[in-house]
Amino acid sequence: GQPQAGAAGTRDHPTVRYFVGDLDAAIEFYCQRLGFEEELRSAPAFAMLYGGGLRLLLSVPGLPGAGRALPDGTVPAAGGSNRITLQVTDVTAAVAELRTAGVRIRADVSAGVAVRQALIEDPAGNLVELFEPTAGYHERPSPP
């Protein structure tokens, strides 16, 4: 069946928006390095990518749309500690491949709670967590 809307009208379509300084560099990074597919590009302000069931919206700060300044004058910015997490088969091999390609590794492979994980950066400084499940890993089964 169709996913039911929540109280706020939310749907089961996970979406994250990242702010990036260079739209083309961000699209290249996510598509060439992490296997995302480009769905829509509205240069120079916005792009929509899909990867692993996630819709990733890329917006350039200071430009129309989500990048515009808020009423108090605050302009959205890249970076911070929030991140998307992507499951990989072998996190050690993935990090080695990305390091060879020149991707910045913020935190090398380490043990987490039921995962092995590492942190990399996209060209704008946004974090991407790569993780490999280990014993005890659990997530909710997908609906039929």
Q: How many domains does the chain have?
A: 1
Q: Report the C-alpha gap between 130 and 24 in whole angstroms.
A: 22
- The predicted pLDDT at position 26 comes to 97
Residues 33-88 pLDDT 10s: 999 999 999 999 999 999 988 999 999 998 888 888 888 988 888 888 889 999 99
CATH code where residue 117 lies: 3.10.180.10
Is 6 domain-assigned? no
Bigger pLDDT: 143 vs 58: 58
- The predicted pLDDT at position 64 comes to 85
Is 114 domain-assigned? yes
Is 115 domain-assigned? yes
- The predicted pLDDT at position 65 comes to 84
Alpha carbon distances (Å) from 4 to 7, 54, 63, 74, 143: 10, 18, 34, 35, 12
Percent of the chain surpassing pLDDT 90: 64
Q: DSSP class of residue 66? A: G
Is 7 domain-assigned? no
In contact, 116 and 93? CB cutoff 8 Å:
no
Q: DSSP class of residue 78? A: S
Q: What are phi and psi of 97, to 5 degrees?
A: -65, -45
Provide the residue range defining the domain that includes 78.
Answer: 15-133
- The predicted pLDDT at position 38 comes to 97
Query: How many Cα atoms sit within 13 Å of 70 on the Cβ side?
Result: 5
Helix (H) or strand (E) holding 13: none
